[in-house]
Structure 1
Amino acid sequence: MPLRTLLATLTAGLAAATTTLAAAGPVHADSPQDNACSSSVSIQRYSDALDKTTYEGTFVGNFSGLAVDRDGSLLAVSDRSSLFSLDPRTLQPRGVVPLATETGAALDSEGLAVDRDGSRLVTSETEPSVRRYDREGRVLGSLPVPDALKVAPAGRATANQTFEGLTLLPGGRTLLASMEGALSGDSPGVVRFQTWRRHGGGKDFRLSTQYGYRADTGLGVVEVAGLPGGRLLVLERGFTAGVGNTVRLYAADTRRATDTSGVDVLTGQDGDRIRLLRKTLLADLVNCPTLGATAKQPQPNPLLDNIEGMVVTGQRQRHGGRLNVLLVSDDNQNAVQTTRCYALRVRVA
């Protein structure tokens, strides 16, 4: 289905989310001709309104994933086991629910997606896992995870390098989770994307195709967003002490990529035998205008921080079908990091 056609069918609430940051303060923006990060990406504005704030006694921050709820509000998951509902215009919290495992233990919640019935799908890096929650944060179940993707010694994954990103692909039948780092035995930088697919009108997802993706040297995959036609937005991020963050936005294509679910070792050098996801650089965010931003620690661009969450909030029909994309940084509840939201406009050819 064409991108224009599919995104035009999104709910009216989702359309409202395209105005995110419009009324949030403080908000900072340059004149339109000065906001290009690349030929495909421009930054419209940013906001630090949520930085080092609390809501109903809960710290607002540590954000690792974003999603648009069925009513158009924004959801932001904290890796400290909290799920916030945010006003799509002001970004101010409207609610928060705690998240936990089936036994009540805390989880390292990272990726977030909203299913068509309104339930929340949340990844945890610990095992890793994908759990389904209701609106009150009650666990409804969990999805199967391949043994190889589990943290050693149960599998071949490294702790804190597992399911960082999560997205429900257009149509709602396929769920995709992205590993942040490579499995033991795979080539460094070659990470796996796992999908689940549901059949018929049922709610349950079953394990499906797996893909290999090569991240840039020194970077990991921190978020994915599904687009029509088997395409993805992929957010890669890294950090160098004394230098700062590197954040790059790619378009990737699952079409013609090899199913790697039965491949033990991904070297990334198998040529036509194993085809990794093709990717195209959309922007290195170091090249964005600063918009007057300041950083609390060294950064190659003071606008940058520990960007970790991403969601597509809509499309501007009058601007070549450009996507409205919202990013958020994870401040790790650290005095030298910032909870910052970024409104981008992205063109995917």
Structure 2
Amino acid sequence: MRLRTLLATVTATLAAAGSLAAAGPATATDTSSTSSTSTPSTSTTSSASTHVCSSTVDIRSFSDGLDKTTYEGTFVGNLSALAVDRDGELAALSDRSSLFTLDRKTVRPTSVVKLADESGADLDSEGLVVDRDGTRLVTSETEPSVRRYSRDGKILDRLPVPDSLRVAPAGRAATNLTFEGLTLLPGGHTLLASMEYSISGDSAGIARFQTWKRHGGHFELAAQYGYRIDAGLGVPEVQATPDGRLLVLERGWTSGVGNTVRLYLADPRHATDTSGIDSLTGQSDVRLIKKTLLADLVNCPSLGATAKQPQPNPLLDNIEGMTITGSTKDRLNVLLVSDDNQNNAQITRLYSLRVRLPHPTAS
């Protein structure tokens, strides 16, 4: 229970910062720290009485305090994943090979570690898990790969990857469209990585989710599942819920319109193991992961947010990272982060959500 209390602090912090804006739709709050080399922007919320996005999801607050800041000379942006460390602090992964630690009270950087591959080259780092011993499991979508790192950024291990999921010509995946999400299932014995899009030979819109089983100090290849993505979207992140289901983010972008971001609850427990199936074409004898829409975030109240480019809701941006920061019974505290791509037209934004999980249905 002590750990859960620490984890819930993250979302409570964002909500507390937002309460300062109760007199109006948006108020700037100085959350700068002496370790940051640039001034943070606003941390805002709304005085509106409702925060409802759907019947199961509320948005509690958001913060732009990290947008276009630096820490010890490193740009704090391009954030693609979040995880809760064993001490309750947040780990935030940049796809430019930087891994930040964020203070759980201020959500400000307190350290940064540079990651690299075996030759010392940068990673296109996308998915992050903090393992039970404190090591970091990190995906790169260029090969793709999953590597284990020590807290100080030393490579400890590299997990096997099925040939079919490798980038062509070695495999059937497209460059930069591979492992985006990474999560450890309850109990810590099964690791799951989500492909962002389909591989060649599979029907468009069916992505593969790969798992590994822990054996001693290593992970070995295990079952694989198919997941159907909404048309025009991809899967940037996945997180295991305490009961073994999955929160799945689906995201897309349309020029002149903006981002689409949807949150699904998915259940892989009765899906077909597709590791031995060469092509997934929607065949009737293959059970894909069942999913249920929790919320389309376009329907969330904007909370006074502003956008730097056209968006169907100014709250939205390129949301790419997600972690569960606490849970009570069937409710989860969820933290999202957007990847600004180091682009002045995009924002690094943190979002605090409250998610109610529907009860599992019979298969």
Q: TM-score range by the shorter chain?
A: over 0.9
Residue 326 of structure 1 is matched in structure 2 by 335
Mapped to 1, the partners of 2:242 and 2:336 lie a distance apart of 20
2:133 is aligned with what amino acid? D
Map residues 227-238 of structure 1 onto 2, 5 A cutoff: 227-238=241-252
Q: Residues 257-304 of structure 1, C-alpha deviation per residue, up to 9 Å, x if partnerless?
A: 000000100012x12x10000000000000000001010000000000
Residue 294 of structure 1 is matched in structure 2 by 306
Matched, 1:241 2:241: no
Q: TM-score if structure 2 supplies the norm length?
A: 0.90
1:22 deviates by 4.1
Among 120, 140, 157, the alignment partner of 2:156 is 140
Pair 1:159–1:62, CA change in 2 (3 A): same
1:11 deviates by 5.2
2:155 is aligned with what amino acid? V
Q: TM-score if structure 1 supplies the norm length?
A: 0.93
Mapped to 1, the partners of 2:54 and 2:9 lie a distance apart of 26
Residue 195 of structure 1 is matched in structure 2 by 211
Structure 2: gaps spanning 5 or more residues: 18-28, 30-41, 359-363
Residue 23 of structure 2 is matched in structure 1 by none
Residue 213 of structure 1 is matched in structure 2 by 227
1:12 deviates by 4.8
Among 1, 5, 9, the alignment partner of 1:16 is 9
Mapped to 1, the partners of 2:288 and 2:13 lie a distance apart of 34
Mapped to 2, the partners of 1:68 and 1:130 lie a distance apart of 18
Mapped to 2, the partners of 1:230 and 1:69 lie a distance apart of 20
Mapped to 2, the partners of 1:31 and 1:48 lie a distance apart of 17
1:33 deviates by 3.6
Residue 261 of structure 1 is matched in structure 2 by 275
2:350 is aligned with what amino acid? C
Q: Percent identity?
A: 70
Among 330, 345, 349, the alignment partner of 1:340 is 349
Map residues 92-131 of structure 1 onto 2, 5 A cutoff: 92-131=108-147
Q: Does structure 1 conserve the Cα–Cα contact (< 8 Å) formed by 2:81 and 2:322?
A: yes
Mapped to 2, the partners of 1:121 and 1:53 lie a distance apart of 26
Residue 322 of structure 2 is matched in structure 1 by 310
Q: Counterpart of 1:19 in 2: which secondary structure? A: helix
Map residues 68-79 of structure 1 onto 2, 5 A cutoff: 68-79=84-95
1:30 deviates by 3.0
Q: Counterpart of 1:51 in 2: which secondary structure? A: coil
Q: Does structure 2 conserve the Cα–Cα contact (< 8 Å) formed by 1:64 and 1:77?
A: yes
Mapped to 1, the partners of 2:333 and 2:176 lie a distance apart of 29
Q: Does structure 1 conserve the Cα–Cα contact (< 8 Å) formed by 2:68 and 2:76?
A: yes
Residue 296 of structure 2 is matched in structure 1 by 284
Structure 1: gaps spanning 5 or more residues: 1-7
Q: Counterpart of 1:311 in 2: which secondary structure? A: strand
2:77 is aligned with what amino acid? G
Q: Does structure 2 conserve the Cα–Cα contact (< 8 Å) formed by 1:35 and 1:288?
A: yes
Runs of 4+ in 1 over 2 A off after TM superposition: 8-20, 22-33
1:161 deviates by 0.5
Q: Does structure 2 conserve the Cα–Cα contact (< 8 Å) formed by 1:166 and 1:223?
A: yes
> What value does the CA root-mean-square deviation take over the aligned residues?
1.4
Q: Does structure 2 conserve the Cα–Cα contact (< 8 Å) formed by 1:151 and 1:158?
A: yes
1:89 deviates by 2.0
